[in-house]
Amino acid sequence: MTRAQRDGFVETLKGLTPEQWQAPSLCSEWRVVDVAAHLAWAPVLGPGAGMAAMVRHGFSMNRMIARSAVEWSERGHDAILAQLRDNARTGATPIGMPPVAGLADAVVHGLDVRRPLGLPAHVPVSALAPLADFVLDTPWPLNTVVGGSARRRVAGVRLVATDTDWTHGSGPEVLAPAEALLLLLHGRPLAPDDLTGPGAPTLLARL
C-alpha cells in the first residue's frame, strides 16, 4: 500500500505545471515543491545529517523539518522525482519510525498537495484504520511532528467513517469519509461540509 501511494504521488507530480509546483499546500509553511522534497529526503536522512540539521535549527524538530524541506526543494524537480521513485522501490522509512509512518506520510502529504490543487485524493479506505491507530497512539513529543495530539483534538465525540467500517471514541457523532477523518486526525484544515453530525461543530472549532 505504501509503495502504491508513493508511486501515485510521483505520477501526480509529473502532471503538474510549474505554477502548481509552487502553489501553497495544506502545510502552512510549504509549497507543493516543499512537500515533495520532504517526502523525498526525510525517509533517507541519516542520524549524522539529522543531528547536524537539528543543531543548525536550534534543536527544534518542527523547525528542522520545515526548513529542511525548503532547502531540499532547491535541488529541483528532477532530483525530487528520482528520490521519490527510489524511496518507493526501497521502502525507505524515516529513522526511528515504524513502517506505518511511511504510509502516513505518503497518504497525508499526498492530500496536502492534491486537495488545494483540486486533484483526486486516491486515499484507500483500508488505510484509515492503521493510520488512525498510528496517529492516535503517537505520544508527546513525537506527536508534535504529526499535527499535535490527535486524541485531544477528537476527545468527547464519536468519529464514524461513512465509507468504511471504522469508529473511534464516544459522544456526539461526527460522520465523515476516510479522507476527511485522516485530515482531521493530522490537524489539517477542513471545509465546514467535510464533517456532519451533532459533534461536527465542536471539532471544526478546534481546527
pLDDT in tens, 30-62: 999 999 999 999 999 877 776 676 667 665 666
For residue 47, the model assigns a pLDDT of 72
Q: Are strands 167-169 and 158-161 parallel, antiparallel or unpaired?
A: antiparallel
- Band (pLDDT 50/70/90 cuts) for residue 63 is confident
Name, in order, each residue with C-beta under 8 angstroms of 46's C-beta and a sequence gap of 6 or more.
Answer: 95
My answer on whether omega of the bond before 47 falls inside 30° of 0, hence cis, is no
> Can you tell me the distance from the alpha carbon of 99 to that of 125, in angstroms, rounded to the nearest whole number?
18
Location of C-alpha cell 522509512: 93
Asked if pLDDT for residue 118 goes beyond 70, the answer is yes
CB atoms near residue 172 (< 10 Å): 15
Q: What is the pLDDT of residue 9?
A: 97
Residue 129 clears pLDDT 90, i.e. is over it: yes
C-alpha distances in angstroms, 146 versus 10, 62, 86, 102, 182? 22, 10, 24, 12, 11
Confidence of residue 176 (pLDDT cuts 50, 70, 90): very high
pLDDT band with cut points at 50, 70 and 90 for residue 159: very high
Place of cell 469508529: 167
- Ranges 37-46, 144-153, 156-165, 171-180: which has the least confidence: 144-153
What's the confidence (pLDDT) of residue 111? 96
Judge whether residue 147 has pLDDT over 90: no
pLDDT (tens digit, 9 = 90+) per residue, 186-197? Answer: 999 898 899 999
Cα–Cα distance measured from residue 174 to residue 195, given in angstroms and rounded to the nearest whole number: 6
Residue 54 confidence (pLDDT):
62
Mean pLDDT taken over the chain: 90
C-alpha cell at 54: 537539528
The DSSP line for 15-54 is T--HHHHTSB-SSTT-BHHHHHHHHHHGGG--HHHHHHHH
Q: Please state, in angstroms and rounded to a whole number, the distance separating the CA atoms of residues 100 and 160.
A: 22
The residue count of the chain comes to 207
Query: Residues of the chain with pLDDT > 90: what percent?
Result: 71
The CATH class of 128-206 is: alpha beta
Q: Where are the domains of the chain?
A: 2-118, 128-206
Residue-wise pLDDT tens digits, 77-109: 999 999 999 999 999 998 878 899 999 999 999
